[in-house]
Amino acid sequence: MHNNVENNQDINSSSASAFAFSFFLFFVLFAAGAAADLWTKDAAFQALGMPGEYRRIEQPELESAYYLWNGVFGFQTSLNTGALFGLGQGQVHILAVLSFVFLAGIICYVLLFAWKSRFLTVILAFISAGIFGNLYDRLAFHGITDVDGNTISAVRDWILVLFGSYRYPNFNIADSMLVCSAVLLVVYSLWFDKRV
């Protein structure tokens, strides 16, 4: 009987430690991902200016882009009032509300279930960081204004990728975290522990 009590205490202590570590891991990765996204957006817009400003006069053929690999990969600022891949243009308020709902849902899920899997915790941390980074922009906390001084509620995109004549929609680190994490979430759901 005494051994059963000790075993139960060990299990409870182990579960509490796993929960605390997973929750800590979630918030560290969330904060790091969100900080990386917001910092790179600020840096890109400071270096390249508003959409269409970068070397517009000197090199108009570059279409205001700074290429690391000419015609394939570079940086170009743009403002997206929609979601990933430019979907839902002009629906900033609806997308902001959905972002709050998804963030709250993910945090609740991590607290209740996901802490049992570190892999799932990592995935959800980066999804949350991506949601937060773009939500920050949708709420116009970036401080960008139009010529009349009105704040612009739009996501700052700055990564440019071209495949031959196809121009992939500009994106940012938050978008990258969302897409990569969605792929990992599918991998997790197909091949990893289904109990979470």
Of 37, 42, 146, 157, the active-site residue reads 157
Question: How far apart are alpha carbons 180 and 53 in whole angstroms?
Answer: 30
**pLDDT reading at 10 higher than 60:** no
Structural domain contains residue 61: no
User: To the nearest whole percent, how much of the chain has pLDDT over 90?
Assistant: 56
Structural domain contains residue 149: yes
The tally of domains found in the chain comes to 1
Structural domain contains residue 142: yes
- The whole-chain average pLDDT of the chain stands at 87
Q: What is the pLDDT of residue 85?
A: 66
Is 157 among the catalytic positions? yes
Residues 108-148 have pLDDT tens digits of 998 888 778 899 999 999 999 999 999 999 998 999 988 89
Structural domain contains residue 13: no
**pLDDT reading at 6 higher than 50:** no
Question: How far apart are alpha carbons 110 and 179 in whole angstroms?
Answer: 19
Distance of CA 155 to CAs 71, 119, 122, 141, 170, Å? 24, 28, 24, 10, 11
Distance of CA 8 to CAs 114, 131, 196, Å? 22, 39, 21
Q: What is the pLDDT of residue 173?
A: 98
User: To the nearest whole percent, how much of the chain has pLDDT over 70?
Assistant: 87
Question: Dmax over Cα atoms in the chain, in whole Å?
Answer: 83
Structural domain contains residue 6: no
Domain residues for the domain of 92 are 22-47+79-156+172-191
Is 175 among the catalytic positions? yes
80 sits in which H/E element? strand 73-80
- Of 95 and 87, the structure prediction assigns the larger pLDDT to 95
**pLDDT reading at 194 higher than 70:** no
**pLDDT reading at 83 higher than 80:** no
Do the Cβ atoms of 130 and 99 come closer than 8 Å?
Answer: no
Structural domain contains residue 9: no
Structural domain contains residue 27: yes
Q: Which residues pair with 160 in a beta bridge?
A: 74
Residues 171-190 have pLDDT tens digits of 999 999 999 999 999 999 88
Do the Cβ atoms of 65 and 58 come closer than 8 Å?
Answer: no
Question: How far apart are alpha carbons 68 and 91 in whole angstroms?
Answer: 33
